[in-house]
Amino acid sequence: MRILGIESSCDETACAIVDDGLRVRSNTIASQHDLHEQYRGVVPEIASRAHVERLIPTLRASLRDADCVLEDIDAIAVGNRPGLIGSLLVGVAAAKALALSLNIPIVGVDHIHAHLWAGALDTDDPDFPALGLVVSGGHTAIFRCESPMRITRIGTTIDDAIGEAYDKAAVVLGLPYPGGPAIDRMAQQGDDRAHQLPISRLDPETLNFSFSGLKTALLYAVRGKPVRTGKATTFERDHTFWNEAQLRDFAASFQRAAVEAILIKLRRAFGRTENADCRTLLVGGGVSANSRLRQSLTDFATERNLDLRLPAMPYCLDNAAMIAGLAHRQLTESGHDDLTLNASPNSIMQASA
Helices 291-304, 179-187: inter-axial angle, 10-degree rounding: 70
Partner from ligand KG4, Zn ion, none binding residue 178, C-beta < 5-8 Å depending on class? ligand KG4
Closest CB to ligand KG4 among 117 and 166? Answer: 166
User: How far apart are alpha carbons 163 and 135 in whole angstroms?
Assistant: 7
Residue 136 binds Zn ion, judged by CB under 5 A: yes
- The residue type found at 41 is G
- CB of 180 vs ligand KG4, minimal distance in Å: 2
- Residues near ligand KG4 (CB under 6 A) are 10, 136-138, 163, 166-167, 178-181, 184, 285-287, 289-290, 317-318
Closest CB to ligand KG4 among 14 and 99? Answer: 14
Q: Which stretch binds Zn ion (CB under 5 A): 135-143, 231-239, 245-253, 326-334?
A: 135-143
Contact 335, 75 (CB under 8 A): no
- The residue type found at 346 is N
- CB of 7 vs Zn ion, minimal distance in Å: 9
- CB of 172 vs ligand KG4, minimal distance in Å: 14
Output the furthest CA–CA distance in the chain (Å, rounded).
65
- CB of 166 vs ligand KG4, minimal distance in Å: 5
Closest CB to ligand KG4 among 129 and 181? Answer: 181
Closest CB to ligand KG4 among 75 and 323? Answer: 323
> What is the contact mask toward Zn ion in residues 302 to 341, using x (rule: CB under 5 A)?
----------------x-----------------------
- CB of 47 vs ligand KG4, minimal distance in Å: 12
Compute and round to an integer the Cα radius of gyration of the chain.
21
Partner from Zn ion, ligand KG4, none binding residue 166, C-beta < 5-8 Å depending on class? ligand KG4
Partner from Zn ion, ligand KG4, none binding residue 184, C-beta < 5-8 Å depending on class? ligand KG4
* Site residue total, Zn ion (CB under 5 A): 2
Residue 347 binds Zn ion, judged by CB under 5 A: no
Closest CB to ligand KG4 among 18 and 287? Answer: 287
Closest CB to Zn ion among 184 and 318? Answer: 318
**Chain positions contacting Zn ion, by CB under 5 A:** 136, 318
